Amino acid sequence: MGAVYEKRKGKLVQKGIRAVTEPIPDYSVRTPLQQCIMILKRHRDIMFIDRCDEKPISIILTTLAAHSYEGEEKLSDALYAILSKMDQFIERRADGSYVIANPSGPLENFADKWKEHPERALAFEAWLARARSDFARIAALLNKQLIAEYLETGVGLCTVLFR
């Protein structure tokens, strides 16, 4: 992510966002990974608007997205890569438990409640299938206006992608 971050920061300098003598604050540069996580969380929030107890927790989406991201520079490529690979980083054990290890502390399992609450694992799987489907439909649209309309009505993400 570091190389993509530096590239985007350089583009901001070229556009005159900040004078070269003033450092660009880290928070003003969003990498494709950060943008994808924002988009995926928003998609999740809309899908589970009436079922907050079931929605996949943010740390699971963030961790799986980070594992799946391979430095893609374009948002669409990053989103495709993340959605394609997210579930590959969930360990399913023979006893019916799931493991999504905390990268900072591998003994912590972010999916530790999925065995006793299987509806949470099912909710994640349903969300991932829906996200893959929704974003595949968006990718098939060629016209930016059609994409914006679909995002506004079907997914509610227009302001995230086109600002």
Alpha carbon distance 6, 161 (integer Å): 21
* 95-120: pLDDT as tens digits: 999 999 999 998 999 999 999 999 99
Instruction: Name the amino acid, one letter, at 162.
Output: F
pLDDT digits (tens, 9 = 90+) for 18-63: 545 555 555 556 788 999 999 999 999 999 999 888 899 999 999 9
- The DSSP letter of residue 26 is G
Is the pLDDT at 163 greater than 50? The verdict is no
pLDDT value for 162: 44
Closest CA relative to residue 63, chosen from 114, 17, 109: 109
Radius of gyration of the chain (CA): 18
| pTM metric for this prediction | 0.73
DSSP E strand stretches across 11-161: 91-92, 98-99, 101-102, 105-109
The predicted structure's pLDDT at residue 130: 96
Where b means 16+ CB within 10 Å and e means fewer, 107-136 reads: eebbbeebeeeeebbebbeebbeebeebbe
Residue 137: predicted pLDDT: 84
- Buried-exposed string 33-50: b where 16+ CB fall within 10 A, e elsewhere: bbebbebbbbbbeebbee
